């Protein structure tokens, strides 16, 4: 599988980057093809009023690397590792801009709207959050936001790892071992079962399948 690791922090060797590299390492160990990028290298312009900045062709008129990131890196990936520091109890501003500007490329007026809209669903998403607070509620808003954004895009949020730290690289000292958990998430991101039941969802009364002849549990998904 192709995996794209996105570090959204402007600090290139900070805690969220460290988490992203750990998850990327795990994905490589699982045999996946992994590419890592810094979001700030591509995304510089904020979302504007499309009625004023679209080109005559309908294409986005914001002149930065966003389209190249989306078309050449995000769309071909089967899975995304998304790392963000906690900024004012939300995701990093550059990462928010990345999601905001998807509108420009999925709208019906975009010349690539159908192509982009067809390529985004089905991806597996692993989320990593660097935070200086151990208070559990500090990152719940971010987790809920990422859950709803991926759900809207018909993607699967396979897991969230929070690492606590402030100084550069301090997340490595977090006794909850977030780097190990990030590596494990990257390693298993295409194996983790993600369920989102509705009233009419067909399902058995088992979550993890049935024991086979060896006594091991087979996956029911």
Structural domains present in the chain: 2-188 (3.40.50.360)
For 168-218, write each residue's pLDDT tens digit: 889 999 899 999 999 999 999 999 989 888 889 888 888 877 765 555 544
**pTM passes above 0.85:** yes
Query: In this structure, are residues 126 and 93 in contact, taking their beta carbons and an 8 Å threshold?
Result: no
Query: In this structure, are residues 178 and 126 in contact, taking their beta carbons and an 8 Å threshold?
Result: no
Q: Which residues in the chain land under pLDDT 50?
A: 217-221
pLDDT of residue 211: 66
Query: In this structure, are residues 182 and 23 in contact, taking their beta carbons and an 8 Å threshold?
Result: yes
Instruction: Give the residue among 182, 80, 188 at the shortest CA–CA distance from 129.
Output: 182
């Amino acid at each position: 599988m192709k995996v794209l690791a996105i570090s959204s922090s402007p600090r290139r060797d900070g805690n969220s980057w460290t988490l992203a590299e750990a998850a990327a390492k795990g994905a490589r160990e699982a045999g996946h093809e992994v590419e890592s990028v810094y979001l700030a290298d591509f995304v510089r312009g904020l979302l504007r009023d499309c009625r004023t900045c679209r080109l005559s062709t309908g294409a986005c008129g914001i002149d930065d690397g966003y389209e190249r990131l989306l078309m050449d890196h995000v769309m071909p990936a089967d899975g995304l590792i998304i790392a963000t520091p906690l900024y004012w109890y939300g995701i990093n501003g550059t990462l928010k801009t990345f999601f905001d500007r998807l509108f420009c490329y999925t709208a019906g007026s975009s010349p690539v709207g159908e192509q982009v809209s067809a390529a985004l669903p089905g991806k597996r998403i692993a989320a990593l959050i660097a935070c200086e607070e151990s208070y559990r509620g500090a990152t719940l808003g971010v987790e809920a936001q990422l859950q709803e954004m991926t759900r809207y895009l018909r993607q699967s949020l396979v897991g969230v790892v929070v690492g606590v730290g402030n100084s550069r690289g301090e997340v490595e000292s977090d006794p909850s071992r977030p780097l190990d958990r990030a590596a494990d998430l990257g390693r298993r991101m295409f194996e983790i079962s993600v369920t989102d039941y509705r009233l009419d969802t067909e399902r058995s009364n088992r979550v993890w399948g049935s024991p086979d002849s060896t006594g091991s549990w087979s996956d029911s998904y």
